[in-house]
Amino acid sequence: MISSLKSLLAGESIKWSVPVNIHLTLAFLGDTPESRISTLPAVLQDACKGTGEFDFYLSGCGVFKNYRDPKVIWAGITQSGSLEKLHERIRAGLAGAGFITEERPFRPHLTLGRIRSLKDPGNLKSTVERYSGTSIGKVHVNEVILFESILSQTGAKYISLGKFALR
């Protein structure tokens, strides 16, 4: 699907995600002082304990903000009670440790590309809608990874700071 999207939208200014960097964000902390990062492993280990491994399904794609002002092309994630529960456990743990997380509702997705500008918004809409109901596949989840993201002109670089098994 990503290859098809890239091909069909080749004339547009879109920064496509590098496949190895595609991830599902459960909580975004923004700039975090180095001294606070050391508390995160205990929070994540506690949140993951007792959760158990689970699956979710990738299905369709869409855009964030909207078609009049699109910013992101994403792959959708079918609602999963286990994923929602994990998100809530992590959010509660972070709040208990004094971290502030985003207030907006959890909308699980994978970012496929960031739109810089468009020449043909109609083509974007028809292309994305072509894949809106496409079943992409099942994803098995057995761990949570704490990433540090370092932003640069060439894109984000993700560094794993720890892995936490779901058991």
What pLDDT does residue 116 have? 95
pTM: 0.91
Under DSSP, the state recorded for 104 is S
Of the chain, the percentage scoring pLDDT greater than 90 comes to 84
Burial class (CB in 10 A: 0-12, 13-18, 19+), 131: buried
Q: pLDDT (tens digit, 9 = 90+) per residue, 133-142?
A: 899 999 999 9
Mean pLDDT score of the chain:
94
Structure confidence at residue 63 as a pLDDT band (50, 70, 90): very high
Structure confidence at residue 153 as a pLDDT band (50, 70, 90): confident
Average pLDDT over residues 115-135: 95
Q: Is the pLDDT of residue 74 over 80?
A: yes
Distance CA 90, CA 134 (A): 30
What pLDDT does residue 104 have? 85
User: Span 2-140: which CATH code?
Assistant: 3.90.1140.10
8 Å CB contact between 22 and 112: yes
Domain extent listing, the chain:
2-140
Q: Is the pLDDT of residue 75 over 90?
A: yes
What pLDDT does residue 103 have? 83
CA dist 99 → 50, 91, 92, 114, 133 (Å): 22, 9, 9, 27, 36
